[in-house]
Amino acid sequence: MLDRMAAALAGLRDADQYRSLINPSGIALSSNDYLGLASHPRLKEIVSQAAMEDARVASTGSRLLTGNHERWEQLEVEFARFARAEAALYFPSGYLANVGLLSSILKPQDTVFSDAANHASLIDGIRLSGARRVIFPHLDLDYLEEALRGASGQGERIIVVESIFSMEGDRAPLRDLAALCGRFDAYLIIDEAHATGVETAHERSGCVLARVHTCGKAMASMGAFVVGSQTLREFLVNHARPFIFSTALPPYCAAHVRESLRLVIEAETQRTRLWELSKYLRARFRDAGMNIGASESHIIPLIVGSNQNALRHAGALSAAGFAIRAIRPPTVPAGSARLRFSVNANLSTLDLDRVLDVVSAI
């Protein structure tokens, strides 16, 4: 077994796909702390205060056994209000929320229409469910429409997308997708990981069965909420295996997420700044003739093709004092290795100008 593992690792090295852990240092260019709230003093204060107040700092069990706490239930009510949904259920990570949601609500007779750029957690949840899968080319609604038309069988039809795609920075046309759902009697599931806190949460139309809001990105905390109807929440409590069979996070984490939610609600200035900086960087890249795909958000992929090229760009930027890593297959399709710039509200246009200088020099 170990020889087999060593051979696989050697293969990754040969393909410039070997990954290793580093402690990032320098000016953050790939952090998901979009609003720059991760070191906010109020969060630190709240976490220590809650840890001191609570009788215990461990949750001691699954939410269904000894791990529940009123802090979690209060938080779920508040988050549902924020997300303009009837109910919310918290999972210890976005990965677990997607896997728990999709693996429990989909049945083998259902057909799932999944965008080709969907996050691994969505893919894994769909795979675990055993439902029939149609992977449609990224945002190709004509293809999707044909596939919906051709889908037969007894089960339900469910379309799964991200509202802002994590590696492309483009947006799913949610209105058009809702219209397709209406025409083909389908449901929509939306992963809002990269929109949560950055954009106002909208009440979604009737065909939207569930939305997943992660808290480890703009919300500067951890975990994720699945939001939807009360029935969905109760179903997940009873069927979502990552929820049922996993130890709950400690209650002070609920205090952290709650304070993060408050900060996010107040962070209008940071949201505006994030929007302006992102627009600036997108324009500078495009003016310089660089390929940033169809990005329309704070996630800006500089697509450079080969793994080697991506590593070269990341190396040059890190030598210039920036924290950024190359994104390579299998995270993105082969031949589309990239630097994924995620803008955050703490950057300045001067920082972004320097980025342009370094990249242009290459």
Ligand X SMILES: Cc1ncc(COP(=O)(O)O)c(C=O)c1O
170 near 296, Cβ under 8 Å?
yes
Give 218's Cβ-side CA count (13 Å radius): 31
Q: Is 353 a catalytic residue?
A: no
Q: Which residue of 117, 126, 158, 224 would you call a contact of ligand X, by CB under 6 A?
A: 224
Out of 163, 166, 221, 346, the active site residue is 166
Given 59, 103, 111, 121, the residue binding ligand X (CB under 6 A): 121
Determine the Cα–Cα distance for residues 296 and 305; give it in Å rounded to an integer: 20
Of positions 100, 216, 251, 301, contacts ligand X by CB under 6 A: 216
Per the listing, tokens 């408050």 go with: 262
Window of 91-99, 152-160, 246-254, 319-327 that interacts with ligand X by CB under 6 A: 91-99
Cβ at position 331, least distance to ligand X in Å:
10
Residue that is written with structure tokens 């989909």 in the block: 106
Contact positions with ligand X (CB under 6 A) in 144-173: 162, 166
Q: Is residue 191 among the annotated active site residues?
A: yes
Sign of CA dihedral 131, 134, 140, 144: negative
Confirm or reject binding of residue 197 to ligand X (CB under 6 A).
no
Q: Which of 32, 121, 278, 295 is catalytic?
A: 32
Residue 23 appears among annotated catalytic residues: no
Query: Counting contacts by CB under 6 A, is residue 193 touching ligand X?
Result: yes
Is 115 a residue of the active site?
no
Cα–Cα distance measured from residue 327 to residue 310, given in angstroms and rounded to the nearest whole number: 7
Q: Name 336's Cβ contacts closer than 8 Å, sequence gap at least 6.
A: 303, 305, 329
Comparison of 159 and 359: residue with beta carbon closer to ligand X = 159
Alpha carbon distance 343, 285 (integer Å): 13
Question: What is the spatial distance between Cα 168 and Cα 138, in angstroms, rounded to a whole number?
Answer: 10
Among 72, 95, 113, 285, binds ligand X (CB under 6 A): 95
Say how many Å lie between the first and final Cα of the chain, rounded.
41
Nearer to ligand X, 227 or 359 (CB): 227
Owner of token pair 């988050």: 79
**Residues forming the site for ligand X (CB under 6 A):** 93-95, 98, 119, 121, 162, 166, 191, 193, 214, 216, 224
Q: Which residues are known to be catalytic?
A: 32, 119, 162, 166, 191, 194, 217
